[in-house]
Structure 1
Amino acid sequence: MAAEQLTVTTADGTAIAVSRRIGGDESVVFLHAGVADRRSWSTVFDALADTDLDLVAYDRRGYGETPAAADPTGFSHLDDLVTVLDALELEQVFLVGNSMGGALALDAALTVPSRIAGVLLIGAGVSGMTDEDTPFDWVLDPATAPLLEVAESSDASVDDRIAALAHLWLDGPAAPAGRVGGAARTLFEDMNRRVLEVAAPDSAGSTGVEAWTRLGEIRLPVLSTWGDLDIPADLPFYEETARRIGQEPGRVLPGVAHLPGLEQPGLVADLVREVVAA
């Protein structure tokens, strides 16, 4: 069944673009990375076509087809998530969060736990994350540093920035450039051309939750995963996130980088089945 394209309007009149494949009683809401939009989950939806799950993905403000907020401090991504759940009449859902989407999923698990049945984290960020309270420091490796410099440079061309972003997040900085090609790479480039065009600040829609120091409070089922080809400096933080949640060891996904839903949608679909079944 093809996903239906919907619009959910927030209290301030912002139209949030939503994709939904209506299924059975169990609902799964997918939260995209900061270098993606809701289209990054489309092949995962396809890989779950044999299930009766109710699948939802939406563009946060400033991504894909959802416009950026005029005032970056005038809204909260967490409030928008609850608005989407309410509009679709979803009382309780499983959340799948990749990168920044993972941070939002954890914020929701801490603030509206009654709405969340379980969480799947994929290379998740955490609000308030810092290395000041860890035995390790965030130190860039020689492969990542030059790519990040180009990706964040306002002097570089858009094409060069997108190429650097794709090497960082899609291929993995230590892997060969172009490791992931075809439709996945084309989609990544298109999504990030939009991200760079809008240029919403990273702080836009801050939830105000300091989840990093509160992960031990989470009582919902959480499976924390990450790709072994992801940015090396980030891997200890994924391990520490899993340790602080304390439910089970984190799971390393072999042969993928930061966006496994793009390069191995079947792998992510299997993780979704596992989390829902548990």
Structure 2
Amino acid sequence: MVGEAFSVTVGQARLAGWQAGEGLPVVFLHAGVCDKRMWESQMAAVAEEGWQAIAYDRRGYGETVSADEAFSHVDDLEAVLKALDIHAAVFVGCSMGGGLALDFALRHPGRVIGLVLIGTSVTGAPWSATDAESQIEAAEEDAFERGDLDMLNRVQAHEWLDGPRAQSGRVGGAVRALFMDMNAIALAKPALTLEERSPHAWTRMAEVGAPTLLLVGDEDFTALIDRHEHLSEEMPNAFAAVLEGVAHIPSIERPELVNSMLLEFLDAIEGGDDEENIDDTDD
């Protein structure tokens, strides 16, 4: 565990989180196949450099417990910020966590100091797949329809940790064990059927003016790499970089690389140099 544990009650849910450090807040939002543990290395690095690091498990993940009631992930995020007395923050999101950060930014632009989005979801974004990607998606659907959660977890580890075009098992050891554990917990949770979806954000990306660091792994899905390029052009204050040799969860696959880029971005924001250091070019 990084720092101190906290919990926030929203409706019939108890959202479980960690916080560490003091200073300007950085809120970490996990991917849909992970939980807050995917950010342990980043939280430790941020706290050590004088920022306040916060991460929590959304409903349906990790240590959070929730009934099947009407809810909104954006409302839950607002409740966490209120409980921790945070008005504005930098939001770091991967995949679905990035989509949540963007939904929050569109609702509360004045509360977003900056964004770091990794292989991000965007509400309402298009999706396409190559033949190789479609084959692994078909294997995922088959495991889901048969209710084989162990097989589903293995297929999703191939999809999201190794990358859909990479050899299954490309990423091993403790990193794979962590992914499998995080995702197994999520897969075993009872279904939440009453989520209130956010409005489509895909056509509104030009409205997100906060300084933004866009990252994507070159082993990720083709649609996410294409999305990354589109966002780098649409978002007015975005800097984009492609990470070589990693897939969808670089925070655990290449934590030192993600930490260094994150800290450089935070230093630019803290120094007030965002206009000079963050531009709309694509590496």
Decide: shared fold, TM above 0.5: yes
What is the one-letter code of the residue matched to 1:140? A
Q: TM-score, normalised by structure 1?
A: 0.89
Alignment of 1:127-206 (within 5 A): 127-130=123-126, 138-152=127-141, 153-155=144-146, 157-198=148-189, 200=191, 205-206=195-196
Among the aligned pairs, what percent are the same residue?
42
The DSSP-based 3-state class of the residue aligned with 1:5 is strand
CA distance in 2 between counterparts of 1:128 and 1:269 reads: 29
Would you say 1:114 and 2:98 are equivalent positions?
no
What is the one-letter code of the residue matched to 2:97? G
Aligned to 2:73: 77
CA contact (8 A) 1:19 1:56 kept: yes
Would you say 1:101 and 2:97 are equivalent positions?
yes
The DSSP-based 3-state class of the residue aligned with 1:101 is helix
CA contact (8 A) 1:118 1:220 kept: yes
What is the one-letter code of the residue matched to 1:109? A
Shift of 1:2: 4.1
CA contact (8 A) 1:230 1:256 kept: yes
Aligned to 1:36: 34
CA contact (8 A) 2:212 2:239 kept: no
Stretch deviating more after TM superposition (241-250 or 255-264) = 241-250
Higher RCO, 1 vs 2 (CA within 8 Å, ≥6 residues apart): 1
Would you say 1:89 and 2:85 are equivalent positions?
yes
Count of paired positions: 266
Runs of 4+ in 1 over 4 A off after TM superposition: none
The DSSP-based 3-state class of the residue aligned with 2:16 is strand
Gaps of 5+ in 1: 131-137
Q: TM-score, normalised by structure 2?
A: 0.88
Aligned to 1:241: 231
Shift of 1:114: 2.0
CA contact (8 A) 1:34 1:101 kept: yes
Stretch deviating more after TM superposition (59-68 or 191-200) = 191-200
Would you say 1:16 and 2:15 are equivalent positions?
yes
Aligned to 1:135: none
CA distance in 2 between counterparts of 1:125 and 1:118 reads: 17
CA distance in 2 between counterparts of 1:249 and 1:272 reads: 12
Gaps of 5+ in 2: 269-283
CA distance in 2 between counterparts of 1:60 and 1:48 reads: 21
Would you say 1:46 and 2:48 are equivalent positions?
no
CA contact (8 A) 2:94 2:119 kept: yes
Aligned to 1:211: 201
CA RMSD of aligned residues (A): 1.9
CA distance in 2 between counterparts of 1:69 and 1:242 reads: 38
CA contact (8 A) 2:30 2:38 kept: yes
| Residues 229-254 of structure 1, C-alpha deviations (whole Å, 9 max, x = no match) | 10123321221122211324521111
CA distance in 2 between counterparts of 1:108 and 1:227 reads: 24
Shift of 1:41: 0.8
